[in-house]
Structure 1
Amino acid sequence: MNSSESSELLIKLNRETSKILWKDLQRFYAQGAVLVVAPGVDLVATAASVANDEAEEISALMKNEKLIKATEYIATTWLAENCEVWAVVVAPWVLVQKERNLP
């Protein structure tokens, strides 16, 4: 992928990123299709890595627990908190990121 295509993908993913209540993503969680991006990690850049199937980058993020499949603990905690997350779809995945709690 050349830099122009890469830039276009980042712009496209950025436009498709939005906030959504976690409860509205439950069916995707139940299907095992939700990936959680750690706070502080660029959600759009991570989505681009997934879209481009950049195995080394994805592997490094997963190894460092910066990208994980949503766990039951996360799902139940976020549901109880009725939290809002940033989300972007990179089929078949939905990548989500909870905003950091500000002091």
Structure 2
Amino acid sequence: MPQYIMTTQYSVPLKARLNLETARITWSELERFFARGRVLHIASSLDLLDVAEALVEDNLAKFTEWTSAGLVKHLEDLTAKSWVADDSKLWAVVIAPWVLVQERL
């Protein structure tokens, strides 16, 4: 059963709410979170919203599967450097204290 976030007039499914909170991000906006170790790199083969939803729902089974496969991991220095160098198009959603980031091709 999907989770819902209550508003004053109606409830919004969690995934729809997360979609509204997803945005493009520049490296300069991301850099301070990276310095704090709070950026999770989401593989392009995954749906960013599925990962965000699993994190909100504390779905340990999915996260274990994704991290074991290297599909979700802390953003590595080499990846960060390449994103700075080529001005990558990045999408992000904040699930405090984490920023989930995915490169869009």
TM-score, with length taken from structure 1: 0.89
CA RMSD of aligned residues (A): 1.5
Count of aligned residue pairs for this structure pair: 99
Structure 1 gap ranges (5+): none
Pick 1 or 2: higher relative contact order, CA cutoff 8 A, min separation 6.
1
**Runs of 4+ displaced beyond 2 Å:** 2-7
Query: Structure 1 residues 23, 60: CA separation in 2 closer, same or farther (over 3 Å shift)?
Result: same
Match of 2:8 in 1: none
CA contact (8 A) 2:41 2:101 kept: yes
Match of 1:93 among 89, 98, 101: 98
Correspondence 1:57-68 to 2 at 5 A: 57-68=62-73
Match of 2:86 in 1: 81
Question: Aligned partner of 2:32: which letter?
Answer: R
Match of 2:29 in 1: 24
Structure 2 gap ranges (5+): 6-11
Q: Deviations over 1:35-92 (max 9, x none)?
A: 0110121000100101111111001001111111101111111111122200000000
Of Structure 1 and Structure 2, the greater helix share is in 1
Matched residues in 1 for 2:16 and 2:58: separation? 18
Question: Aligned partner of 1:72: which letter?
Answer: D
SS at match of 1:3: coil
Q: Which has the larger radius of gyration?
A: 2
Match of 2:18 among 7, 13, 17: 13
Identity of aligned residues (%): 33
